[in-house]
Chain A
Amino acid sequence: MQLTLWTYEGPPHVGAMRIATAMREVHYVLHAPQGDTYADLLFTMIERRTERPPVTYTTFQARDLGGDTAQLFKDAARDAYERFKPQALLVGASCTAELIQDDPGGLTQALDLPVPVIPLELPAYQKKENWGAAETFYQLVRHLAVKPSGPRAMGDKPPRCNILGPTALGFRHRDDVREIRQLLAQIGVAVNVVAPLGASPQDLARLADADFNIVLYPEVAHQAAGWMARHLGQPATKTIPIGAGATREFIREVAALAGLDPDHAADLAAAEAHSHAPWYARSVDANYLTAKRVFVFGDASHAIAAARVAATELGFKVVGLGTYSREFARDVREAAALYGIEALISDDYLEVEAAISAAGPELVLGTQMERHIAKRLGLPCAVISAPVHVQDFPARYSPQMGFEGANVLFDTWVHPLMMGLEEHLIGMFRGDFEFHEDAAPSHLGGPAAAAPPAALIDVPAPPAAWAPDAEKELRKIPFFVRGKARRNTEAYALSKSVPVITVETLYDAKAHFSR
Chain B
Amino acid sequence: MSAVIPIQLDQGCSDAPVLLERGQREVFCGLTGIIWLHRKMQDAFFLVVGSRTCAHLIQSAAGVMIFAEPRFATAILDERDLAGLADAQDELDRVVQRLLERRPDIRLLFLVGSCPSEVIKLDLSRAAGRLSERFMPQVRVLNYSGSGIETTFTQGEDACLAALVPVLPISIQPHEPELLIVGALADVVEDQFARLFTAMGIQRFAFFPSRRSTALPAIGPQTRFLLAQPFLADSARALEDRGARRVPAPFPLGAEGSAAWMQAAGAAMGLSAERVEQAIAPARQRAELALAAHRALLAGKHVFFFPDSQLEVPLARFLARELGMQLSEVGTPYLHRQHLAEELAWLPAGTALSEGQDVEKQLDRCRALRPDIVVCGLGLANPLESEGFTTKWSIELVFTPIQGFEQAGDLAGLFTRPLTRRQLLAA
Q: Does B10 contact A (CB under 8 A)?
A: no
B356 vs chain A, min Cβ distance (A) = 10
| Contact residues in B for A65 (Cβ distance below 8 Å) | 119, 149
A99 to B187, Cβ gap below 8 A?
A: no
Q: Does B60 contact A (CB under 8 A)?
A: yes
A476 to B24, Cβ gap below 8 A?
A: no
Known: A96-B51, A389-B64. A38 touches B409 (CB 8 A): no
Which of A44, A57, A473, A511 is most buried by chain B, counting CB atoms within 10 A of its CB? Answer: A511
Of residues 448 through 503 on chain A, the ones whose CB sits less than 8 Å from some CB of chain B are 473, 476-477, 503
Q: Does B163 contact A (CB under 8 A)?
A: no
| Contact residues in B for A14 (Cβ distance below 8 Å) | 53, 56
A114 vs chain B, min Cβ distance (A) = 21
Q: Does B25 contact A (CB under 8 A)?
A: yes
Contact of A41 among B60, B78, B94 (CB under 8 A): B60
| Bound-state Cα–Cα, A447 to B314, Å | 50
Q: Does B29 contact A (CB under 8 A)?
A: yes
Of residues 48 through 67 on chain A, the ones whose CB sits less than 8 Å from some CB of chain B are 48-52, 56-62, 64-65
| Bound-state Cα–Cα, A48 to B378, Å | 10
| Bound-state Cα–Cα, A41 to B348, Å | 33
Known: A34-B25, A99-B82, A125-B79. A50 touches B383 (CB 8 A): yes
Closest residue of chain B to A507 (Cβ to Cβ) is: B406
Of residues 36 through 53 on chain B, the ones whose CB sits less than 8 Å from some CB of chain A are 49, 51-53
B59 to A6, Cβ gap below 8 A?
A: yes
B119 to A99, Cβ gap below 8 A?
A: yes
Total of A-B residue pairs, C-beta within 8 Å? 206
Q: Does A157 contact B (CB under 8 A)?
A: no
| Contact residues in B for A38 (Cβ distance below 8 Å) | 28-29, 32, 57, 60-61, 379
B60 to A125, Cβ gap below 8 A?
A: no
Closest residue of chain B to A72 (Cβ to Cβ) is: B22
B26 to A37, Cβ gap below 8 A?
A: yes
Q: Does A152 contact B (CB under 8 A)?
A: no
A424 vs chain B, min Cβ distance (A) = 33
| Bound-state Cα–Cα, A314 to B117, Å | 50
| Contact residues in B for A33 (Cβ distance below 8 Å) | 29, 115, 147-149
B52 to A61, Cβ gap below 8 A?
A: no
B13 vs chain A, min Cβ distance (A) = 26
Closest residue of chain B to A58 (Cβ to Cβ) is: B24
B96 vs chain A, min Cβ distance (A) = 9
Q: Does A432 contact B (CB under 8 A)?
A: no
Closest residue of chain A to B285 (Cβ to Cβ) is: A511
* Stretch from B69-77, B201-209, B266-274 that touches the partner: B69-77
Closest residue of chain A to B386 (Cβ to Cβ) is: A50
Of residues 4 through 61 on chain A, the ones whose CB sits less than 8 Å from some CB of chain B are 4-7, 9-11, 13-14, 33-42, 44-45, 48-52, 56-61
| Contact residues in B for A10 (Cβ distance below 8 Å) | 52-53, 56
B102 vs chain A, min Cβ distance (A) = 9
B26 to A40, Cβ gap below 8 A?
A: yes
| Contact residues in B for A4 (Cβ distance below 8 Å) | 52, 55, 73-76
Of residues 79 through 94 on chain A, the ones whose CB sits less than 8 Å from some CB of chain B are 79, 83, 94
Of residues 176 through 223 on chain B, the ones whose CB sits less than 8 Å from some CB of chain A are 187-188, 191, 195
Q: Does A283 contact B (CB under 8 A)?
A: no
Contact of A514 among B23, B88, B293 (CB under 8 A): B293
Q: Chain B interface residue count: which class?
A: 35 or more
Q: Does A231 contact B (CB under 8 A)?
A: no
B33 vs chain A, min Cβ distance (A) = 12
Contact of B293 among A6, A125, A504, A515 (CB under 8 A): A515
Q: Does A232 contact B (CB under 8 A)?
A: no
A1 to B94, Cβ gap below 8 A?
A: yes
Q: Does A149 contact B (CB under 8 A)?
A: no
B88 to A1, Cβ gap below 8 A?
A: yes
Q: Does A369 contact B (CB under 8 A)?
A: yes
| Bound-state Cα–Cα, A427 to B119, Å | 62
| Bound-state Cα–Cα, A44 to B99, Å | 35
A319 vs chain B, min Cβ distance (A) = 23
Known: A37-B27, A44-B379, A511-B286. A125 touches B77 (CB 8 A): yes
Q: Does A372 contact B (CB under 8 A)?
A: yes
Of residues 78 through 134 on chain B, the ones whose CB sits less than 8 Å from some CB of chain A are 78-79, 81-82, 88, 91-92, 94-95, 98-99, 115-116, 118-120
Query: Size of chain A's interface in residues, with CB distance under 8 A?
Result: 66
A473 to B191, Cβ gap below 8 A?
A: yes
Q: Does A334 contact B (CB under 8 A)?
A: no
Contact of B383 among A42, A52, A510 (CB under 8 A): A52
Q: Does A95 contact B (CB under 8 A)?
A: yes
Contact of A61 among B31, B55, B82, B149 (CB under 8 A): B149
| Contact residues in B for A57 (Cβ distance below 8 Å) | 24-25
Closest residue of chain A to B377 (Cβ to Cβ) is: A41
B81 vs chain A, min Cβ distance (A) = 6
Q: Does A344 contact B (CB under 8 A)?
A: no
As a 0/1 sequence over residues 101 to 142 of chain A, the CB contacts with chain B under 8 angstroms (1 = contact) are 000000000000000000000001110100000000000000
A99 to B53, Cβ gap below 8 A?
A: no
A31 vs chain B, min Cβ distance (A) = 12
| Contact residues in A for B23 (Cβ distance below 8 Å) | 59
A125 to B379, Cβ gap below 8 A?
A: no
A52 to B77, Cβ gap below 8 A?
A: no
Q: Does B289 contact A (CB under 8 A)?
A: yes
Closest residue of chain A to B48 (Cβ to Cβ) is: A4
A44 to B382, Cβ gap below 8 A?
A: yes
B141 vs chain A, min Cβ distance (A) = 15
B118 to A62, Cβ gap below 8 A?
A: yes
Q: Does B248 contact A (CB under 8 A)?
A: no
B187 to A1, Cβ gap below 8 A?
A: no
Which of A1, A33, A49 is most buried by chain B, counting CB atoms within 10 A of its CB? Answer: A1
Q: Does B396 contact A (CB under 8 A)?
A: no
Contact of B75 among A3, A37, A95, A126 (CB under 8 A): A3
| Contact residues in A for B385 (Cβ distance below 8 Å) | 50
Known: A14-B56, A83-B360. A125 touches B386 (CB 8 A): no
| Bound-state Cα–Cα, A59 to B282, Å | 47
Q: Does B292 contact A (CB under 8 A)?
A: yes
Closest residue of chain A to B31 (Cβ to Cβ) is: A35
| Contact residues in A for B28 (Cβ distance below 8 Å) | 35, 38
A347 vs chain B, min Cβ distance (A) = 10
Closest residue of chain A to B118 (Cβ to Cβ) is: A62
Contact of B24 among A56, A64, A126, A511 (CB under 8 A): A56
| Bound-state Cα–Cα, A512 to B406, Å | 11
| Contact residues in B for A76 (Cβ distance below 8 Å) | 24
| Contact residues in B for A94 (Cβ distance below 8 Å) | 53
| Contact residues in A for B380 (Cβ distance below 8 Å) | 40, 44, 52
| Contact residues in B for A514 (Cβ distance below 8 Å) | 290, 293, 409-410, 413
| Contact residues in B for A443 (Cβ distance below 8 Å) | none
A312 vs chain B, min Cβ distance (A) = 32
| Bound-state Cα–Cα, A473 to B194, Å | 13
A35 to B148, Cβ gap below 8 A?
A: yes
| Bound-state Cα–Cα, A369 to B327, Å | 43
Contact of A100 among B31, B52, B119, B188 (CB under 8 A): B119
Q: Does B152 contact A (CB under 8 A)?
A: yes
| Contact residues in B for A60 (Cβ distance below 8 Å) | 149
Can you pick out 25 interface pairs between chain A and chain B where the beta carbons lie within 8 Å of each other?
A: A3-B73, A3-B74, A4-B52, A6-B70, A10-B52, A13-B53, A14-B56, A33-B115, A34-B29, A34-B152, A38-B57, A40-B378, A41-B379, A44-B383, A48-B382, A52-B379, A57-B24, A61-B150, A62-B150, A124-B52, A125-B82, A126-B78, A128-B52, A510-B406, A511-B406
Give me 9 other A-B pairs in contact (C-beta within 8 A), A57-B25, A59-B23, A515-B292 excluded.
A3-B73, A3-B74, A3-B75, A5-B73, A6-B70, A35-B29, A35-B147, A64-B149, A511-B289
